Amino acid sequence: MAATNNPPLLEVRNLRVEFPTRRGTLLAVDDVSFEIAPGEVLGVVGESGAGKSLTGNAIIGLLEPPGRIAAGEVRLEGRRIDNLPYEEMRKVRGARIGAIFQDPLTSLNPLYSVGRQLVETIQTHLPLNAAAARKRALDLLKEVGIPGAEHRLDHYPHQFSGGMRQRVVIALALCAGPRLIVADEPTTALDVSIQAQIIALLKRLCREHGTAVMLVTHDMGVIAETADRVAVMYAGRVAEIGPVRDVIKNAQHPYTKGLMGSIPHLGERGGRLTQIDGSMPRLNAIPKGCAFNPRCTLRGQRCLVERPELMAAGASRAACWLHDSRGVGAPIGKETVDA
């Protein structure tokens, strides 16, 4: 478990990401705040379009234009990094922040051996000569579990399986001994047995190096197995955040409850899985009040007009008026929302 008494290694405060378009500005990440302690894994989960990958990209300075950080700040070890010039941020991204993406082939150059790519990355960020950099590259391949690392150092990406390529990408992310790793769907393209190995590897590296990990995924099984805490995102905002066991066993936001109810459990027969009616709103059609209100069976009049902030809810914090002393207001039927 993470030592959450430590000062946070990553602090995200009131982050807002916008995409200017000819028809107006789309708000993709809206007032998102969280922190991650050294040695802690924070899972960020939600449906496609929830804003979880954009949040990760904003933190590492890789937002695709015209996307931009419009407000808020990101601090790494107390230093603000969201307003750094491109070249300065590139140095931070390699040395202090490691990135792991869903498809390892997008992170690896097919024309260079993995050893060359590792050595170049190491020498870019660390004051090592070629021999020392090659030794570190070899040690990293061994650490991430590549069998026959001495032999495989001079192989090319296409000579590795998907799971082994992802291990190479993790080695690349670890080259300069980063303090933070942002992992965006790192196991999605892999089969289940390889997923389990990559998850175990990430957990071990986090524990041994005291690295903070932001794990972005849509898979609650991966979150349950890997994370210390989980942030559930919906329509660009954090709907609920708390210790992973509490959120899974005793979800406090109606959306999180729906997510948990849609997961089949081994050994349980019969019974229907919960279904959340409707779909995530488009960025140009986010409703007033709580963005989840058109899909929520517990909504009241207040949910249609007032947007809830995160508030204390059991062991978690949830953005839901159910946890406010004034409640959700007068209950309403679905026809009122759809009208």
What's the pLDDT tens digit per position in 136-166? 999 999 999 999 999 999 999 999 999 999 9
- Asked if 101 and 169 touch (Cβ cutoff 8 Å), the reply is yes
pLDDT score of 339 more than 50: no
Burial 136-162 (b: 16+ CB within 10 A, else e): bbbebbebbbbeebeebbebbbeebee
Give the lowest-confidence range in 35-49, 195-209, 234-248.
195-209
What's the pLDDT tens digit per position in 301-310? 999 999 999 9
Whole-angstrom CA distances from 121 to 133, 155, 291 are 9, 17, 43
Parse the chain into domains and list their residue ranges: 105-175, 239-263+281-338
pLDDT score of 94 more than 60: yes
| Alpha carbons 186 and 177: distance in angstroms, whole number | 19
Question: Taking the alpha carbons of 250, 254, 259, 261 in that order, is the dihedral positive or negative?
Answer: positive
| Alpha carbons 37 and 4: distance in angstroms, whole number | 6
| Alpha carbons 54 and 212: distance in angstroms, whole number | 19
| Alpha carbons 266 and 68: distance in angstroms, whole number | 43
| Alpha carbons 111 and 47: distance in angstroms, whole number | 35
Angle at 68 between CA 66 and CA 72, to 5 degrees: 170
The percentage of the chain sitting over the pLDDT mark of 90, rounded to a whole number, equals: 76
DSSP string, 113-133: -HHHHHHHHHHHHS---HHHH
The pTM (predicted TM-score) of the whole model is 0.91
Report which residue type is found at 48. S
H/E segment holding residue 289: none
